[in-house]
Amino acid sequence: MIKQVRRKFLLISIMALFLVLLALIGGVTTVSMIRDDQEMNSVLTVLAKNNGNLLSKRAHKSFGANYKPDNMFKYRFFSVTVKNKTVSPKDMTHIYAIDDQQIADNSRRIVRQIKFAKRGKMRINGSRYAYYAVKKGSSYTVYFLDTYPLTSSTRSMIRLAIVIALVSLAFFALLIVAFSNRAIKPIILAYRKQQSFITNAGHELKTPLAIIAANTEMEEMLGKDDEWTKSTKEQVARLTDLINSLIRLARFAEKDELKLSRINFSEIAQKAANSFKSILSKDGKEYQVEIDPDLYVNAEPQTLYELCNILLDNAAKYCDDNGRVLVSLKPSKLSQTAVLTVKNSYAAGKNVDYSHFFERFYRADESHNSSKSGFGIGLSMASELTNAFGGKIKAGYDDGFFKITLSLRLKK
């Protein structure tokens, strides 16, 4: 239990930090990309307005206060003329990566692209260019701007941000791991006090119950054997069973108390299944068992046997009259887990909410006069034991059957 809380705390804390860093990097990247796109569009607009000249007075006015002549040389661009599906180079003096032949080779793509959109981006010979097509009479003048000089700083910043984020995540993860026990210390103390209280209270309650039982037996020996003494004995037995169940639940709650080893799940499941044959036969219920041999898991033998008994006892107890109980143990489809399935006929279970079945003291029948014995902690104990083994357990309804599925990882 405590280890699970610590793992969840670490996972949530690290995931929260990861999401914060991811949002931060994503926000910075988005802002940088928007800024780069705005700069590209601004430069292309100035080129179009000034016939491809970034050093003119009109260009100076267009850029405003941010205009510096020396900065204009960082932009690499060229322009072409498109007329009647023919592409002709216009100004190639501001770029060295593209020549006239490459323009001719990409003419069809250029024509197709500007028909689709007058502004956009396209690749030419592996390089990415932003373009702006301006119509002049029956022809177009298309200005192409190399995006690499504008986006290189953004890419460098993103790489640096990712490195810093990963280092920060690793550093803070180590800090969280180091201080996690201190962070969840109140939960640990409260949980241990709860477990200690259940165990101590259970043992303290056994003494007065034993005295009540002894007094009741003495009254029976003195000739006072009536419905009242019988009722008292039944309630004493009921309370004793409840106390024993609570104590077992408290003891099994911690994985550290169990010494896990590689054991034969098939043999234990078969042993548990055999012990219920006479009970189900006596109640007139059909019983079918299918267990694959030699399925090994990491568990503790006696505890796993008790876990199987809990599931089988639950099936026998809540099975419809003259119904069926089906037990199977098989490997999963990918042969990574051993899957124990316990099903019992349950005609009234179609619209039942099964999400609370593993909560302590939960019973599907809320009536205090239920004819079924038990306190609603058997499946809660099964859930605790399954968690101790690192497995999974779930309840559901399948074609007239209440079904519990227990999955434990196979140990080769």
At 387, list the tokens. 């968690």
Query: Residue with structure tokens 């023919």?
Result: 86
Domain with CATH 3.30.450 in the chain: 1-183
CATH code for the domain defined by 1-183: 3.30.450
Mean pLDDT along residues 328-347: 90
Measure Cα distances from 193 to 188, 198, 377 in Å: 9, 9, 20
The model's pLDDT over 115-168, given as tens digits with 9 standing for 90+, comes to: 888 999 988 888 899 999 998 888 999 999 999 888 888 888 889 989 998 998
Q: Domain 256-409 belongs to what architecture?
A: 2-Layer Sandwich (3.30)
Assign residue 352 a region: left if phi > 0, alpha if psi is -120 to 50, beta otherwise? beta
Note if the pTM is more than 0.85.
no
User: What confidence category does residue 329 fall into, taking pLDDT thresholds of 50, 70 and 90?
Assistant: very high
User: What pLDDT does 195 receive?
Assistant: 67
Residues 6+ away with beta carbon under 8 Å from 35 = none
Domain with CATH 3.30.565.10 in the chain: 256-409
Residue 355 has pLDDT above 50, yes or no: yes
User: What confidence category does residue 254 fall into, taking pLDDT thresholds of 50, 70 and 90?
Assistant: low
The C-alpha torsion from 335 through 340 and 345 to 350, rounded to 10°, is -70
At 225, list the tokens. 């054997």
> 3-class secondary structure for the chain?
CHHHHHHHHHHHHHHHHHHHHHHHHHHHHHHHHHHHHHHHHHHHHHHHHCCCCCCCHHHHHHHHHHCCHHHHHHCCEEEEEEECCEEEEEECCCCCCCCHHHHHHCHHHHHHHHHHCCEEEEEECCEEEEEEEEEECCEEEEEEEECHHHHHHHHHHHHHHHHHHHHHHHHHHHHHHHHHHHHCHHHHHHHHHHHHHHHHHHHHHHHHHHHHHHHHHHHHHCCCCCHHHHHHHHHHHHHHHHHHHHHHHHHHCCHHHCCCEEEEHHHHHHHHHHCCHHHHHHCCCEEEEEECCCCEEEECHHHHHHHHHHHHHHHHHHCCCCCEEEEEEEECCCCCEEEEEEEEECHHHCCCCHHHCCCCCCCCCCCCCCCCCCCCCHHHHHHHHHHHCCCEEEEEEECCEEEEEEEEEECC
User: What pLDDT does 63 receive?
Assistant: 67
Domain with CATH 1.10.287.130 in the chain: 185-252
Query: What residues pair up with 89 in beta bridges, in sequence order?
Result: 80
The model's pLDDT over 187-197, given as tens digits with 9 standing for 90+, comes to: 777 767 776 77
User: What pLDDT does 9 receive?
Assistant: 80
Is-contact 297 411, C-beta < 8 A?
Answer: yes
Residue 407 has pLDDT above 90, yes or no: yes
- Supply the mean pLDDT for the chain: 82
User: What pLDDT does 250 receive?
Assistant: 66
* Neighbour-count burial of 158, counting CB atoms closer than 10 A to its CB (0-12 exposed, 13-18 middle, 19+ buried): middle
User: What pLDDT does 233 receive?
Assistant: 78
Residue 296 has pLDDT above 90, yes or no: yes
Radius of gyration of the chain (CA): 38
From 274, 276, 364, 372, select the one nearest 317 (Cα to Cα). 372
Mean pLDDT along residues 37-51: 87
Q: Is beta strand 392-398 parallel, antiparallel or unpaired with respect to 401-409?
A: antiparallel
Mean pLDDT along residues 230-242: 78
The model's pLDDT over 364-391, given as tens digits with 9 standing for 90+, comes to: 554 334 445 444 567 777 888 888 888 9
Higher pLDDT: 322 or 242? It is 322
User: What pLDDT does 366 receive?
Assistant: 47
CATH code for the domain defined by 185-252: 1.10.287.130
Mean pLDDT along residues 266-271: 94
At 242, list the tokens. 């409840």
Residues 6+ away with beta carbon under 8 Å from 213 = 233, 236
Count of C-beta atoms within a 10 Å radius of residue 386: 21
